[in-house]
Amino acid sequence: MNEKEKMIQGLLYDANYDKALSEERKKCKILCSKFNSTPYEDIEQRKTILRQIIGKIKNEFLIEPYFWCDYGYNIEIGNNFYSNHNLVILDAAKVKFGDNVFIAPNCGFYTAGHPLEINERNKGLEYAKPIAVGNNVWIGGNVVVLPGVTIGDNSTIGAGSIVVKDIPPNSVAVGNPCRVIRTLGD
């Protein structure tokens, strides 16, 4: 099994010394750099570049620069998607956003993690777990979503939160670690 297959299956893999993965990241970073340096008023050109980066995009979307990701092909965004400035998606595993998702500035979605065991970590090994964000979700500024998290439909994540475990649908959740403080409809 090669390193990409291990990555996709959520196993420990070596992203640093695998030539294929390094080339894929390089290609993606070049496109991200091109997106980020495109004049702001040229929205259509920025959207064209994003369609070359992101694996699956529905109709209406807008991502403000700056935007960075690792591979791009593991990202899916639904219809009516908006992200404000400085979105970072480490997409070694699938990152799927539903319809009507709004992301405030300076947010990160990180599928990649590293072993706690020092010898494995020092070998450069990592793992990746998917992230899923449902429909009608609002993510506040400076939020970090960690590997393996699912955020349910109709939820709001408060600014500055670090989401380390699943958030059920219809929730308002905040904090570090992020926790539900209110269920919508109560």
Domains annotated on the chain, with CATH: 3-183 (2.160.10.10)
**Which tokens sit at 40?**
């702001």
Q: Which residues sit opposite 77 in a β-bridge?
A: 57, 97
The pairing of strands 144-145 and 125-128 is unpaired
- The three-point CA angle 73-141-173 to 5° equals 95
pLDDT value at 186 more than 80: no
Catalytic residues, by residue number, are 114
Q: For residue 17, with 0-12 CB atoms within 10 Å meaning exposed, 13-18 middle and 19 or more buried, which class applies?
A: exposed
What is the spatial distance between Cα 184 and Cα 172, in angstroms, rounded to a whole number?
7
Is the preceding omega at residue 177 within 30 degrees of 0, hence cis?
A: yes
In 149-165, which positions are buried (b, 16+ CB within 10 angstroms) versus exposed (e)?
A: bbbbbbbbbbeebebee
pLDDT tens digits, 48-100 = 999 999 999 998 999 999 999 999 999 999 999 999 999 999 999 999 999 99
- What average pLDDT is seen over the chain? 96
pLDDT of residue 17: 82
pLDDT value at 163 more than 80: yes
- For residue 15, give the nearest of 54, 70, 89 by alpha carbon: 70
Total count of residues recorded for the chain: 186
